[in-house]
Amino acid sequence: MGPGKRGLFAVAVAVVCAVTVLGAPGAAFASPSSPTPSPTATTAPDLTLPPSKDLEEVREKLDTLYHAAAVATDAYNAAEEAAKKQSAEIVALAQKIVEGQERLAKLKDRAGAAARSQYRTGGLPDEAQLMLSDDPSEFLDGAGRVLQGQRATKGLIAELTRIQEDLEQYSADASAQWTKLEANRKAKATAQKKIEKQITAAEKLESQLEEADKERLAKLQEQADQKAQTAWLDTGILDEIDGKASAAGKKAIAYATAQIGKPYVWGAEGPDSFDCSGLTSEAWKSAGQTIPRTSQEQWKQLRRVAIEDMRPGDLIIYFGDASHVALYVGDGAIIHAPRPGRTVTLAGAGTMPILAVVRPDA
C-alpha cells in the first residue's frame, strides 16, 4: 500500500476532530431558498424615526425589521440542522475508514503468513512442490489443496483491492464533506450577523420612543392584529372549519400551551425559550412526531391541507416566504412565538397573511 493509502487513517482521525470543531456554534450549511425571497432580508435598516413621529410608520418599520430577522433566523436554523446531519455523516465515514484499516491490516497479516509459509518450503510454490511428489495419493490430495489455495489467494487479492478502493472513496467523501461544512460555516455566520443587525436596528428604533409612545405603539399593533383577525373571521371561514384534533395533535397543543409566557429567542428550541419553528417542532416532537426544524421546511415537506379542512394541531405557515409558523389550537386561534421582545402567546390565526396549512400527522 502506497503513502496515500497509509494516510487514510490520519484522514479518519482528522475528520473526527473536525466534527468536534464544526459542531460548535458557527458550523453549518447554507440556507435553503425561500418560497418567495423577501427583499427586506437584505434592505439596510432605517434607524431614524419619521419626522412627524407617526407611530403607524414606526410600527411598519419595526415589522419590516423583525420580518427580516425572522427570514434570517429560518436560514440560520436550516444551516444548524444541516450541520448536525452532515457532522453525523462525517463521523460515520471516519468509522468506516477505521474499520477498513483494521480489515486491511488483518488481510495483510494473512498475506504475510502465506509468504512466510512459502519461504519455509524452500521458496517453491505449491504447484512446484506437488510436481516433485512421487506418491500418487499425495499428488491427488495436493492437487485439491492447490486449487483451494489458488481460490483463496484470488479471493484475498480481490478483497484487498476492494477494501483499498473503499478506503479511497471514504477518504474522498470525507474530504468533500469537510470542504462543504467549512464553506457553510461562513454562511451560518452570515445569517447570524443578519439576525443581530436587524434586531439591533429594531431595538434602537424602539429606544428612541418615549414611554407614552411605546404604549401607543403597542395599542396600534393590537388594533392592527384585531383588524386583520376580524377581516379573516368575516369571511365565514370558521363556519367551514370543524375538524377535530387527533390524539397526537392534542399532545402537541398541550405542549405548546404549557410554553405560553416563555420568551422568544432566535434559534431556540426550548425548554426555556423558543423561536417560532422551535416551538412547533418541539410541540410535535412531544407528540412523538419528528418534523423539520424550520418554517420553510415545514411548509415544503409536510402535507398541505385546505384552510377549511384545518384541524387543531395543524401548523399555519405565514407570509409569502414562509418565514413564520404557528400551531392552530381551534376556534380561530393559534399559539406561537412571535418575535424578539415578545413571549409565546395565544393569538388570532388571521392576524398575519396565511401562506398555507400543513399537517404533521396522517
Are 314 and 249 a contacting pair, CB within 8 Å?
A: yes
The yes-or-no verdict on residue 65 having pLDDT over 70 is yes
pLDDT higher than threshold 80 for residue 4: no
Spatial distance between the Cα atoms of 265 and 259, rounded to a whole number of angstroms: 13
Catalytic entry in 96, 324, 339, 359:
324
The pLDDT, as a whole number, for residue 342 is 95
Catalytic residue among 336, 349, 352, 356: 336
Q: Which of the two residues, 126 and 70, has the higher pLDDT score?
A: 70
**C-alpha 125: how far from its chain's center?**
58
Q: What is the mean pLDDT of residues 77-98?
A: 84
The DSSP call for residue 303 is E
Does the pLDDT of residue 121 top 60, yes or no? Answer: no
pLDDT band at 117 (very low <50, low <70, confident <90, very high): low
Which residues have C-beta within 8 Å of that of residue 35, sequence separation ≥ 6?
Answer: 296, 299, 300, 320, 321, 322, 355
pTM of the model: 0.67
Phi and psi angles of residue 244, each rounded to the nearest 5 degrees, phi first? -105, 145
Those residues with Cβ within 8 angstroms of residue 182's Cβ, 6 or more apart along the chain or in another chain: 22
pLDDT at residue 261 in the model: 98
Lateral strand order in the sheet of 303-305: 303-305, 354-359, 315-318, 324-330, 333-336, 345-348
Contact 176, 14 (CB under 8 A): no
Tell whether the model's pLDDT for residue 173 goes beyond 60.
yes
Pairwise pLDDT comparison (238 vs 128), residue with the higher score = 238
336 has catalytic annotation: yes
HSE (CB half, 13 Å, CA atoms) of 257?
A: 12
| First and final C-alpha spacing in the chain | 54
Catalytic residue among 27, 276, 322, 349: 276
Q: Is the pLDDT of residue 154 over 60?
A: yes
pLDDT of residue 122: 53
pLDDT higher at 96 or 228: 228
User: Going along the chain, which residue ranges are E strands?
Assistant: 303-305, 315-318, 324-330, 333-336, 345-348, 354-359
Cell numbers of 294, please? 424550520
CA distance 49 to 62: 11
